Amino acid sequence: MADIRLEGVGHSYDGGRTWALKPMTWTWQSSRAYALLGPSGCGKTTLLNIISGLITPTVGRIWFGEREVTGVPTAGRNIAQVFQFPVLYEEMSVYDNLAFPLRNRKFPKKEVDQRVRQVSQLLGLDQVLRRRSRRLDPGRQQIVSLGRGLVRPQVAAVLLDEPLTVVDPALKWTLRSKLKEIHRDTGHTLIYVTHDQTEALTFADEVVVLNDGAIVQAGEPAELFLSPSHEFVGHFIGSPGMNMVPAEIAGGVVRVGAAGVGAAPDGLPPGPVRIGVRPEFVRIAGPGASPGAGATVTGIDRMGAYDLVHTRVGEHPVIVKTEAGSACEPDAAVFLHFPADRTFLFRDEVRCGSLAPLNGREPS
């Protein structure tokens, strides 16, 4: 197995007027499990289809290791692809559907049988192997599709495009764990497309976040949560997402309205910035706490395991996640503290630094 390298790869469906995928250079490392995460229409399927060869990119070149595959059709790429909805032969038995990708490639009968039994056992299909696929419910049919994608022992990559959409929610969790298990056993490169952050974060070694046709950040789940490098990652990941508050750097101090909330990092020019801080890290402090920004409580969601305290700093909403049973009341005046090591500054949506402690510098 080899790395899959995209070199300046981009795609336009309308002759270059708009780019479904903006030209990008990116390497999928061999044997890793990736989640490709992003909202509807951001280019996830386009990117998968370019890797599998269903789409020839408008620009750029694709390499599987040392072999260039840019003009090579799907059949010559040795990729397994699983789509959002079942793709199978309805009149064939489950067994024959699973065996098909192997028989098609002339695997010996014994190996076909061995692989089919292995995969069907892992996916809980061993009791229905003789049944016609047409007679299964759509969720089960999709699991057969998944099996067809996983049955081949040697593939350059397994690409899964929102494969669990039609599967019962209770089964999703089990299937995702199975996929992880299969990944550990086979060492295939897996790329799993989803717009669901929980699915992405629980499945992948590395999450690649795509927005508006461009990769905005890639990293381990904790990295994306703790250290977002783009505003989009801040609000797309997390529940609720990161608070973003307009602020101003003047005289080395970061101010929200008149309140100094921290020092600007060295070298960052004065001017407007946006402060990004997750609800988990904002602290509600007593009146007069310094540094802090005055806020008004606008409401409280008691979620059972935790509370979400909704506040407003001037015109800007800031949500604080606190332990359950918070003593805050609506309309109360509070101070919000933004911890220096968990608060980031953004310009043009891109992170440009972190809030620094005031260290005695006069905030006002």
Q: Give 45 or 118: the residue with its C-beta nearer to ligand ATP.
A: 45
Tell me whether residue 45 or residue 133 sits nearer to Mg ion (CB atom): 45
Q: Tell me: does residue 243 bind Mg ion (CB under 5 A).
A: no
Name the binder of 195 from ligand ATP, Mg ion, none, CB < 5-8 A by kind: ligand ATP
Q: How far is the CB of 127 from ligand ATP (least distance, A)?
A: 33
x/- map, 303-342, Mg ion, by CB under 5 A: ----------------------------------------
Residue 184 CB, shortest distance to ligand ATP, in Å, is: 27
> CB–CB of 63/8 below 8 Å?
no
Residue whose structure tokens are 């992003």: 38
Site for ligand ATP in 171-230 (CB under 6 A): 195
Q: Which run of H or E residues covers position 203? A: helix 197-203
Q: Residue 80 and residue 87: Cα distance in Å, rounded?
A: 12
Residue 361: HSE in the Cβ half-sphere, 13 Å Cα cutoff = 18
* Residue with smaller CB distance to ligand ATP, 3 or 196: 196
57-58-60 Cα angle (round to 5):
70
Contact in structure between 289 and 280 (CB atoms under 8 Å): no
Total residues in contact with ligand ATP, by rule CB under 6 A = 11
Q: Tell me the C-alpha to C-alpha distance, in Å, between residue 289 and each of 187, 295, 337, 345.
A: 53, 12, 8, 22
Tell me the β-bridge partners of 36: 193, 208
What is the side-by-side strand order in the sheet with 59-64? 21-28, 4-11, 59-64, 67-68
**CB of residue 16 vs ligand ATP: minimum separation in angstroms?**
13
CB of 250 to ligand ATP, least distance (A): 41
Interacting positions 8-47 with ligand ATP (CB under 6 A): 13, 20, 38, 40-46
Nearer to Mg ion, 45 or 217 (CB): 45
Question: Cβ closer to ligand ATP: 15 or 271?
Answer: 15
Minimum distance from CB of 295 to ligand ATP (Å)?
Answer: 36
Q: Closer to ligand ATP by CB, 85 or 173: give it.
A: 85
CA distance 210 to 21: 10
Helical H runs in the chain? 44-52, 94-103, 109-122, 138-150, 169-186, 197-203, 221-226, 231-236
Task: Name 322's bridge partners.
Answer: 307
* Residues ≥6 apart with Cβ < 8 Å to 105: 152
Q: 31-50: which residues touch Mg ion (CB under 5 A)?
A: 45
In sequence order, the β-bridge partners of residue 321 are 308
Given ligand ATP, Mg ion, none, residue 43, with its beta carbon under 5 to 8 Å by kind, binds ligand ATP
Binding pattern for the stretch 47-76 against ligand ATP, x by CB under 6 A and - elsewhere: ------------------------------
The residues with which 273 forms a beta bridge, in sequence order, are: 247
C-beta of residue 257 within 8 angstroms of C-beta of residue 336: no
Instruction: State the minimum distance, in angstroms, from the CB of residue 323 to ligand ATP.
Output: 36
Give the one entry of Mg ion, ligand ATP, none that residue 316 binds, where binding means its C-beta sits below a cut-off of 5 to 8 angstroms depending on kind: none
**Which residues would be at the binding site for ligand ATP (CB under 6 A)?**
13, 20, 38, 40-46, 195
